[in-house]
Amino acid sequence: MIVNEEKCTGCGLCAEACPLGAIEISGEKARIDPSLCVNCQACLKVCPQDALSLEEAPLEGRVRCDACPIGCQIPEGRTGACQRFVNKGGTLHRVIPLHDFSDVQEIVGPEPEEVIRRPLITGIGAGTTYPDPKPAPWIVRGEVGGVEVVTVVTEAPLSY
């Protein structure tokens, strides 16, 4: 990311939005640490002065993540904006592996009856910005086939 110092007022919204702490306000201007910035554009989306712009050229020594449309350019040993993938030796690895039902069956118990498998809501549209490390605050209760069902959206999904 590039800061246009003539436009930047040092309001700090970009620093608050940066999921990796790559921006600090110094001398009433935003300063971006290029070793931490992955070009996720969260700062660009919140800047009221349009003082930030994207570096068009790929960042040297980075791996572009294609897990979502953001396309973070992740440096060695660091994570992308979502903090789900880390660059190890030029290859992206999940920080927390995905689990299928057999991995967690002892924790969650037997599979639910078919009547309560379908969620009352989905996570689509529950998020506010991306990346967003805060959980989406949706808990919905209802009754399906005589069974009380609670659906919780625990992660803010990608929103545009």
For residue 152, the cross-strand partners are: 139
Span 101-133, pLDDT tens digits = 677 778 777 766 666 566 665 555 444 455 555
Total-model pTM: 0.62
Give the whole-angstrom CA distance, residue 100 versus residue 136: 22
Please give the C-alpha separations between residue 40 and each of 20, 36, 68, 97, 160, in angstroms, as whole numbers. Answer: 10, 11, 11, 22, 13
Alpha helices in the chain (DSSP H): 13-17, 42-46, 101-108
pLDDT of residue 127: 46
Domains of the chain (ranges; CATH) run 2-94 (3.30.70.20), 101-153 (no CATH)
pLDDT of residue 120: 62
pLDDT of residue 128: 47
pLDDT < 50 regions, the chain = 125-128, 156-160
